[in-house]
Amino acid sequence: MSKESSLEGGVVEEETMAERLTGVGIEGVSGVGSSLPQCLRLGDSETLALQSEGDVVIGGLFPLHYVAPEPQHSYSSKPLLTHCTGFDHRAFRWMMTMVFAVQEINRNSSLLPGFKLGYRIMDSCDHVHTSLQTLFSLVSHSTAVTSEVERMTEKRSDMPKDSGISTEEIKTVQKTRKKRMLTMMNKRGTESNENFIKENITEETMGTQSETLPSCLAGSPVPAVIGLASSSPTRAVAHTLGPFNIPLVSYFATCTCLTDKKVYPSFLRTVPSDLFQVRGLVQLVTFLGWRWVGTIGTTDDYSHYGIQAFSNQFKQQGGCLAFHLTISKSPTVAEIQEMADRLQRSTAQVMVVFATEGQLLELLSELAQRNVTGIQWVASEAWVTASLLTSPRFHPLLEGTLGFSFPGVRIPGLKEFLLNVRPSPEPGMEFVNMFWEELFGCKLQFVGDRLKENGTLDKPDSQSVSLVIPIVGKTSTINQSFENYKSAAEKPVCTGSEDLSFTDSSYTDVSQVRISYNVYKAVYAIAHALHNLLSCDSEGMCEKNKSFSSRQLLDHLKMVNFTTQFEEKVYFDSNGEPVPLYDIINWQKDSNDEIRFIKVGNYDGSAPLGQQLQMEKSTIVWTKGQSQVPVSQCSVPCPPGSRQARRPGQPHCCFDCLSCADGEISNQTGSTECTKCPEYYWSDKDNVKCVVGVEEFLSFYDTMGIILVALTVLGVVLTTIITTVFHRFRFTPIVKANNSEISFLLLLSLKLCFLCSLVFIGQPSVWTCRLRQAAFGISFVLCLSCLLVKTIVVLSAFRANAPGSRALKLFGPSQQRTLILCTTAPQVCLCTGWLLGAPPFPFRNPTYQASTGKIVVECKEPWPPGFYLVLGYIGLLAFLCLLLAYLGRKLPDTFNEAKLITFSMLIFWAVWISFIPAYVSSPGKFTVAVEIFAILASSFGLLLCIFVPKCYIILLRPERNIKKGMTGKYPR
């Protein structure tokens, strides 16, 4: 196949593939001749631009419109040029501030003397695809391109026919070179098309690029670009410019993702990173006590990274997110209504919003239509000073909005410059005309250089015309596009007498400019970099003809360090970031019922922690005009005396309140845990403070104490009465029968048993603790010793064959005393050793404090075996008494002495066997009460069983109180 036929066969495919490049702004690739540039705009459309020529032209990208239609690529026809909608007056002010700064620098005889700075500014529409289209149109534009193409075409046309190169062949070669580029791009995939185009175009031009003619990106006629506002378009543009080292200085893109210098090596900004704004917002929200907030964002990178960082840091500070709403790029009515419903249902009254005013407009309009109030809005810097949202219909909804903004200044001469802008039919004035129609709600119609009707603008003012120089390119196409924009709505014709000074909009509000000031600083940063790069001296001369690359400008831009006329130092750190300074802005109504942005504090991210946030709470107006800080909480904080109990499956800010248990307190509102009181302390009735624990012991004034004392006194009185009766009838046979001396000793020991119970009642002391167990042990052993002797005497008397038998003589009174002494002595020795070795002592026992709330004052026994030995010895004597009495239960005794002793011992054993488990299990003072009860019960058992029957005979049946009755010979 011949070369010609091969080229011709690919023409159709080349034309189809070429259409794809129009989506990214590259409409033609030429390779004819080594002297031609490698990128040519051969399309039939031109992007609108505001331009002024100069020795160096700075690019500018501003979001004049905030609604851009989604691109519709069928890949079967060339994409049409779509128009953005939603004109932003504030963004237009930013654009004109750049023009103002450039003109101010050109008038400055010391910064760039003898050197003119130009600009080429375009509309990015605040979207990724429109920003990339605008970028390629911006950096590839050159008047030299058009003129050189025309010149080369004419030159080729004048060549002889036999030269071998015709015009058709030139076009064919152009198409072939373009086809090869497109084919290679398709193989690489759509994801990296833009970068691939740049790289391959650069490769194509190596060695053939003319020094006087620019190429697509490498050697761009625009060595630096100022832009953009949103983070997602900024990332796309920065990623595109980075490999070519073309500086991109942003005035409003704050995403932390742009800090990565490996991905965005040529990106710098005059606005602080969201890293500092997020830290400040978290400090602000927590400082105001808001722990339950909702977040609202969009799908762009600015919102995504901002919300994510805020959420993480807010949760680390103990906060909770009620919900997160994401506003899509083109939300439907149903989606907007669903988000509005969610906001109305939520208990969160504070909303943290990372978005722009254009993205919020539909949602806020829906909320305003529903008359929603009471929401405290916390705004990011993207919309906190947006005048678009300050219209009266938003006042009930947005009054009291609080947020971070960049420090505002009043730039001298800026307001006069902005008010001097006038519409014009001249090419390049389209943006001004759009603004004029949007602001005044009219439609401009020109006839030549005059307004069509009632126009007072006969000829554009020379000063106004100097603001904007006509752009180059296809004017007819631009005018057609502009006419399409104008015919979008039917409006009255502008008269031309409209005056900007009588308008009130975000364009003319320059009392405290913030984003405009960032634009201003960006222009001056580039100017100072050029000042150093061009070696401008104090004599007012710069090396005007010095050639330089974008990389050289970028290096000098990174090193700029100057002070503005507002005494602010401007420099970039290693990440291309400025000093993080913010103002805290509050939306307040003035006397004219209009919203004003009032500074109520500031945040310095470079200050020490704890000194970064400075705010005057008393000057803040909150939502609905309130003077008190709004409350936003999922659950009301638990009052003192209670704690939070988290609800399962919900954030920790949603909880129920439970009262603290006894012995625990919480003395702060919102306590998550109750604090246990120290030992010997107890919580008060409200569980808010610990008080000295109430001491509990068996008191003489307790009901139980009174009953036990009464029983003790009764026992003592009965014992005394019986002793008196026995003493009165001590010479009768029934008293003399078992040795009256032992009977009196037994009565004495029983009296001691009754009295020793009193030692157990009352507050324990050192002496009562030592005396109580010893008195109890010795008195009972003495009592049982007497019973043991009486039992032995009874057995001996009735076992003898005759009176005066040897058994009675062997166990006479002296032996009886000796036995009593011998059986009592071991208990005395045991108690003495116990008291000397490990004596009991008063002890405040907190064991039962948790259940009763009281501290039991008791006698602590450091050697518990001592008590059980004492009790065990008593049990041994009781067992011997029971055994001997049981053996003599059938003796012929008229008075049933042995039977009575047996019965009394059974009662004694029953009492003390039941005493042991009751003693162990009884809490607090009831332990002492159980022991007293056992003492009294066993004492009463002995007293009543042994002595009452004898008193009955002595007092009521004296006829039986004879000697015969003792042997059972007396008839009953």
Tens digits of residue pLDDT in 944-968: 888 888 888 888 888 887 766 555 5
pLDDT for the residue numbered 561: 93
pLDDT band at 893 (very low <50, low <70, confident <90, very high): low
Q: Which has more pLDDT, 237 or 190? A: 237
The DSSP call for residue 473 is S
Two structure tokens written together for 967: 């042997």
pLDDT for the residue numbered 399: 93
The secondary structure of the chain in percent helix, strand, coil, rounded to multiples of 5, reads 50, 15, 40
pLDDT for the residue numbered 737: 73
* Averaged pLDDT for residues 834-859: 85
Q: Which residues contact 809 (CB under 8 A, 6 or more apart)?
A: none
pLDDT at 681 over 90: no
* Averaged pLDDT for residues 579-591: 91
pLDDT band at 117 (very low <50, low <70, confident <90, very high): very high
pLDDT for the residue numbered 370: 93
pLDDT for the residue numbered 511: 82
pLDDT at 538 over 80: no
DSSP conformation letters of 606-658: TSPTTSSEEE-GGG---GGG-SSPP---SSPPPPTTEEEEEPTTS-TTSEEEE
pLDDT at 364 over 90: yes
Two structure tokens written together for 804: 């005066």
**CA-closest candidate to residue 248, choices 219, 275, 232, 270:** 270
Tens digits of residue pLDDT in 425-435: 888 788 999 99
Which one-letter amino acid corresponds to residue 882? L
pLDDT at 895 over 70: no
| Pairwise CA distance, residues 613 & 605, whole Å | 8
pLDDT for the residue numbered 336: 94
pLDDT for the residue numbered 803: 55
pLDDT for the residue numbered 467: 40
* Averaged pLDDT for residues 648-677: 89
pLDDT band at 107 (very low <50, low <70, confident <90, very high): very high
Q: Which residues lie across from 409 on neighbouring strands?
A: 513
Which one-letter amino acid corresponds to residue 130? T
* CA triple 349-355-357, angle to 5 deg: 95
* Averaged pLDDT for residues 737-751: 85
pLDDT band at 61 (very low <50, low <70, confident <90, very high): very high
pLDDT for the residue numbered 683: 87
Give the global pTM: 0.57
pLDDT at 96 over 90: yes
pLDDT for the residue numbered 162: 39
* Percentage of the chain modeled with pLDDT above 70: 79
Work out the angle between the directed axes of helices 766-799 and 740-759 (0-180°, nearest 10).
160
Q: What is the mean pLDDT of the chain?
A: 80
Instruction: Classify 322 as helix, strand or coil.
Output: strand
> Backbone phi, then psi, for 257, in 5-degree steps?
-65, -25
Instruction: Classify 676 as helix, strand or coil.
Output: strand
* Percentage of the chain modeled with pLDDT above 90: 38
- Whole-Å CA distances, 642 to 378, 659, 671, 691, 849: 32, 4, 7, 17, 19
Please, are residues 831 and 778 in contact by the beta-carbon 8 Å criterion?
yes
* Averaged pLDDT for residues 112-131: 91
Q: Which residues contact 27 (CB under 8 A, 6 or more apart)?
A: 18, 21, 40, 41, 42, 43
* Averaged pLDDT for residues 199-226: 52
Instruction: Classify 682 as helix, strand or coil.
Output: strand
pLDDT for the residue numbered 485: 46
Instruction: Classify 294 as helix, strand or coil.
Output: strand
* Averaged pLDDT for residues 130-137: 89
* CA triple 866-871-876, angle to 5 deg: 125
* Averaged pLDDT for residues 53-67: 91
Two structure tokens written together for 933: 């009860």
* Averaged pLDDT for residues 402-407: 91
* Averaged pLDDT for residues 358-376: 93
* Averaged pLDDT for residues 851-858: 82
pLDDT for the residue numbered 379: 95
pLDDT at 607 over 60: yes
pLDDT for the residue numbered 27: 40
Q: Which has more pLDDT, 787 or 3? A: 787
Omega before residue 752 within 30° of 0, cis: no
pLDDT at 918 over 90: no
pLDDT band at 806 (very low <50, low <70, confident <90, very high): low
Encode burial over 441-467: b for 16+ CB neighbours within 10 A, e otherwise.
Answer: ebbbebeeebbeeebebeebeeebbeb
pLDDT band at 75 (very low <50, low <70, confident <90, very high): confident
pLDDT for the residue numbered 453: 52
Tens digits of residue pLDDT in 135-173: 988 887 644 333 333 444 444 444 433 333 333 433 433
Element (H, E) at 321: strand 320-327
pLDDT for the residue numbered 908: 87
| Pairwise CA distance, residues 645 & 238, whole Å | 50
